[in-house]
Amino acid sequence: MAKKVALMQGNEACAQGALYAGCDFFAGYPITPSTEVAEVLSIELPKIGGKFIQMEDEIGATAALIGAALTGAKALDSTSGPGMSLKQELLGYACIAEIPCVIVNVQRGGPSTGMPTGPGQSDMQQAMWGTHGDHAAIVLTPASCQEIYEETVRAFNLAEKYRMPVQIQLDEICAHMRERVTLAEPGELEIINREKPSVSPADYKPYDATKGMVPPLATYGSGYRFHVTGLNKAADGFPTTKAELVDAEERRQIDKVMFNLADIQKNEEYLLDDAEVILFAYGSTSRSARYAVNELRKEGVKAGMFRPLTMWPFPDDRVAELSKQAKAIVCPEMNLGQMVREVQRVAQGRCTVAHIGRVDGEPINPGQIIDKVKEVL
Amino acid sequence: MAQRYEIRFSGAGGQGLITAGIILAEAASIVESKYAVQSQSYGPEARGGASKSEVIISDEPIDYPKATIVDACLAMTQVAADKYANGIKPGGVLLIDSDFVKNVPQGDFKVVQIPIMRTAKEDVGREIVANVVALGAMIALTDVVSREAGEKAVLAKVPEAFIDLNKKAYSIGFEKVKEALAQQ
């Protein structure tokens, strides 16, 4: 049988990916340019017995997300910059309480209300550092409708596997453009579900890491009673200020990500073997970068592209290697210099690192990238 | 068609031009299995204002998703013609609604003039299908997908009760352009 294909927006592909992954709960508050994610799920979730809630605001939405996830739901929330700013407190709560959930940020212009219908990539550092305190973050940056579909499935898998919030950073361009998406058959893509406790309710400790870095998560309402708090806590979930316990917990919650980089990180490398100038690009901007690479190659310029699909944790090791190989790394981004800071940090002056920034609501076009490459070479 | 072919539909918000772009992209990428990307830009207002929808079609995967310099452009209003009919490739084509675009953009491209809104109202019977008239016309003008693929995509999009109306709109739009081209 022919596979199901459909022309759909990036936002619709995100909703479809969530459904494939087993998402059965959505809480959110509508905001351009993310609203179609909610729109699709408001239609589809009731059909499969799932729940859709439009909350009173973005803060309430993430609170609902956390509550639902604790009852065993695979929960999704979508928003844009102004909403993401409001969610930061609850995002931190999901980090420390280790709540598996997925939050989509369709980036637009900013700060504040900014330009609601214009694209941006200016929440990239916020995705890592927006909520206070040391914590790990997993942030995915797909660039096509097909990829948004598949990466949304991966986001749920990572959230479930590592028991933590995962963010998908889209931008208005890839969220609103339409492309053909081939929908996966049941069983075709891997689906990971959180590990449930193997001990009895009496013996269950929600943060017991003696058997692994990711403690099993019991489901509220299934007979397991446990305490959830935003305070630093001991293995039993109750608050503690004991220095050695707090230190160990803080470190474990970061190490569970940093010790599993090979499983979490994902990049595309395009024509890098002999590349002298490397474009570091992501999201819709990477599509301009690919166009630029192809044009530059026609002119004999040895150009290539490194494209992270997992932006955080940042691909330090690979970018460090590339900084030894390349004469220059050029970072086009719809912001005034965010991920380029990470490239500079990792490159440590081994090659030229240049930035192309744009915040006028227009995409970075291939011509701008080509001009910059010629300038730095 | 290995190279990317870019089409822009422009007019006023509410005229259904984003839908026309979506249907063309479906004709190309679903019916004909080519690659297509459709995008749009619009202001905060739901109706009125200038609206544009762009479709890029290629035999190869499409990287940059926005139009660069278009091969073909439709302008339904004077505002749209003034704003969006400037970036047309040398040798490209421009279709305008001759009742609304009086100040015809000049350039190294072919201009075809049809009273699109009036055709929808008088020949088809409903002004609301002007976007489908325009779509039929643009497909006739560009040959970017087959006539049949375009019709199939239109009919897949509309409710049962409006199939005949849209079939007629598509067909009349297509024929009008073929007649206009024959006279040129």
Tens of pLDDT along A68-98?
A: 999 999 999 999 999 999 999 999 999 999 9
pLDDT in tens, A365-374: 999 999 999 9
Contact A287 B44 (CB under 8 A): no
Contact check, Cβ <8 Å, B63/A290: yes
DSSP state, A47?
Answer: G
CATH code of A293's domain: 3.40.50.920
Residue B44 has pLDDT above 90, yes or no: no
**pLDDT-based confidence at B42, cuts 50/70/90?**
low
**131-150 in chain B: CB under 8 A from chain A:** none
What is the rounded average pLDDT of the residues A133-155? 98
DSSP state of A119: B
B16: left (phi over 0), alpha (psi -120 to 50) or beta: left
**Interval A218-235 mean pLDDT:** 97
User: What's chain A's length in residues?
Assistant: 377
Tell me what the mean pLDDT of segment A228-247 comes to.
97
Interval B24-44 mean pLDDT: 91
CATH of the domain at A40: 3.40.50.970
pLDDT for res B46: 56
- A143 at interface of B, judged by CB pairs closer than 8 A: no
Contact with chain A for residue B25, Cβ under 8 A: yes
Residues from chain B that touch A268, judged by Cβ atoms under 8 A, are none
Q: How far, CA to CA in Å, does A49 sit from each of A46, A52, A64, B102?
A: 5, 10, 17, 56
CB atoms within 10 A of CB A301: 17
Q: Is the pLDDT reported for residue A248 higher than 80?
A: yes
For the segment B120-173, what is each residue's pLDDT rounded down to a tens digit? 999 999 999 999 999 999 999 999 999 999 999 999 999 999 999 999 999 999
Burial class (CB in 10 A: 0-12, 13-18, 19+), A198: exposed
Contact A202, A181 (CB under 8 A): no
Q: Is residue A343 part of a domain?
A: yes
Chain B within 8 Å of A287 (Cβ-Cβ)? Answer: yes
Note whether A280 and A177 are same-domain residues. no
Q: Which helix (H) or strand (E) holds A165?
A: strand A165-171
Predicted pLDDT at B41: 79
* Residue of A226, A35, A33 whose CA lies nearest to A120: A33
Look at residue A153 and tell me if it is in a domain.
Answer: yes
For A350, the domain range is 268-376
**pLDDT, tens digit, for every residue of A204-222?**
999 999 999 999 999 999 9
pLDDT of A112-130, one tens digit each? Answer: 999 998 999 999 999 999 9
E strand or H helix at B94: strand B88-97
CA within 13 Å, CB half, A48: 17
B160 touches chain A (CB under 8 A): no
Alpha-carbon dihedral A217, A221, A224, A227, rounded to 10 degrees = 70
- Closest Cβ opposite residue B65 in set A5, A6, A177: A177
Q: What's the gap in Å between the CA of B30 and the closest CA on chain A? A: 7
**Chain A: closest CA distance from residue B95 (Å):** 24
Alpha-carbon span A86 to A88, nearest angstrom:
6
> How many beta-carbon pairs under 8 angstroms link A with B?
57
Specify which residues A5 forms β-bridges with: A182
Q: Give the Cα separation of B169 and B131 in Å (integer).
A: 9
Please identify, among A154, A182, A210, the residue that sits at the C-terminal boundary of a domain.
A182
Phi and psi torsions of A279, nearest 5°: -90, 125
Query: Which percentage of chain B shows pLDDT scores above 70?
Result: 95
pLDDT at position A356 over 90:
yes
- Arithmetic mean of pLDDT over chain B: 94
Question: Of A182, A197, A229, which closes a domain?
Answer: A182
Q: What is the pLDDT confidence band of residue A102, given thresholds at 50, 70 and 90? A: very high
Q: What mean pLDDT is predicted for residues A172-191? A: 97
- Could you tell me the pTM of the whole model? 0.96
Place of tokens 């508050």: A29
Residues 64-83 of B with CB under 8 A from A: 64-66, 68
Q: What is the pLDDT of residue A140?
A: 98
Say what the pLDDT of residue B85 is.
87
Domain extent, residue B160, equals 5-183
Residue A223 has pLDDT above 80, yes or no: yes
In a domain, A201, yes or no: no
Residue A57 has pLDDT above 60, yes or no: yes
For B76-107, how does the pLDDT look when each residue is reduced to its tens digit (9 = 90+)? 999 999 998 888 999 999 999 999 999 999 99
Q: What is the structure's pLDDT at B139?
A: 98
- Give the domain CATH number at B75: 3.40.920.10
Q: What percent of chain A has pLDDT over 70?
A: 100
Q: Is residue A15 in a domain?
A: yes
pLDDT at A1 over 60: no
CB count within 10 Å of CB B108 equals 9
The interface residues of chain B toward chain A in range 26-45, judged by CB-CB distance below 8 A, are 26, 29-30, 35-44
C-alpha pair distances (Å), B109 with each of A158, A209, B85, B137: 52, 70, 10, 17
**Which pLDDT score, from 0 to 100, does residue B50 have?**
83
Least CB–CB distance from B43: residue in A117, A178, A179? A117
Task: Identify from A4, A5, A145, A178 which residue to disrupt to test chain B contact, counting B C-beta atoms within 10 A and taking the largest count.
Answer: A178
A256 half-sphere exposure, CB direction, 13 A CA radius: 27
Q: Looking at the 3D structure of chain A, how many domains does it have?
A: 2
Interface with chain A: mutation pick from B29, B58, B64, highest number of A CBs within 10 Å: B64
The 10s digit of each residue's pLDDT in A284-332 is: 999 999 999 999 999 999 999 999 999 999 999 999 999 999 999 999 9
Region B17-37: mean pLDDT is 97
A34-55: average pLDDT? 98
What is the model's pLDDT at position B45? 57
**pLDDT at residue number A101:** 98
Name chain A contacts of B44, Cβ cutoff 8 Å: 116-117
Q: Cα separation of A64 and B18, whole Å?
A: 35
Q: Which of A182, A213, A239 is the last residue of a domain?
A: A182
How many domains does the structure of chain B reveal?
Answer: 1
SS3 B69: coil
